[in-house]
Amino acid sequence: MNRILYSGNRNASSWAFRAWLALKEQDIPFKEIIVDIRRPQRWSNLAEIGNFSPAAAIPVLDDNGFIIFDSNAIMEYASELGTNALLPEDIKARAKARSLVAWQHSTFGRICPCLFFESAFYPEKKALSDAEVTAIENVYSIWEDSITLFKGKYLVGNYSLADIMFVPSVVRFTSHYQPDERWPNVQNWTKILLSRPFVKEWLDEASQLEPIYLPGYRNDP
């Protein structure tokens, strides 16, 4: 089998997590090479990725010599290659799914940027600032509205790329601040998402690793 996913450390690579998840959910066989993106080896390892992928980042999917880079492209490829498309058939639901995917992919990282994915695995979590709580509550309300609108358990009805795209953000937010009864659909959705077998597989492995401490988490000087 000549399909290789260049992935990353389980407790650091939120983008690889998404690509890996889409391939797994679609039952697409692949070999995985984990690229160590911890500092300082991160830079030399990613430079090697740059020898065959323009973005010099992970994830990268090498499908028999054909290079697909960027998590979003790999997720769409997985959706089309597998038998259960991960985008809705309905044009509006599909546009909504793509809006949510694009939001996460482009600007969502600015929301609580100090709650990076790595921090979800810290044994001791910091207390959130008022601004962080407000930002997370705002996102919970947006997720709640989408689930309500599409009348299913997931963001746009059935399980889709939109749900997969948000899994790492769900992990980093809920590990610091759980949704309460103001967001009943989000409570249910996060529970379902986090108990999906492949999500659990990745997170179980992540939680067994040495945490990766990054500056900025505790607003240290």
Q: Is 13 in the site for ligand GSH (CB under 6 A)?
A: yes
Element (H, E) at 75: helix 71-81
Strand partners, 67: 62
CB of 34 to ligand GSH, least distance (A): 12
Give the residue with the Cβ less far from ligand GSH, 14 or 158.
14
**Interface residue with ligand GSH, options 46, 100, 170, 193 (CB under 6 A):** 46
Q: Is 168 in the site for ligand GSH (CB under 6 A)?
A: no
CB of 90 to ligand GSH, least distance (A): 26
Rg, Å, the chain Cα set: 17
Q: Is 25 in the site for ligand GSH (CB under 6 A)?
A: no
Give the residue with the Cβ less far from ligand GSH, 35 or 147.
35
Q: Is 9 in the site for ligand GSH (CB under 6 A)?
A: no
N-terminal to C-terminal alpha carbon distance within the chain: 49
Give the residue with the Cβ less far from ligand GSH, 75 or 186.
75
**In angstroms, rounded to a whole number, what is the distance separating the alpha carbons of residues 4 and 26?**
15
Contact 11, 207 (CB under 8 A): yes
DSSP three-state, residue 43? helix
Residue of 121, 140, 126, 138 whose CA lies nearest to 190: 140
Tell me which residues in 58-87 interact with ligand GSH (CB under 6 A): 58-59, 70-72
Strand partners, 157: 154
**In angstroms, rounded to a whole number, what is the distance separating the alpha carbons of residues 105 and 178?**
23
CB of 173 to ligand GSH, least distance (A): 18
Binding site for ligand GSH (CB under 6 A): 8, 13-16, 37, 46, 56-59, 70-72
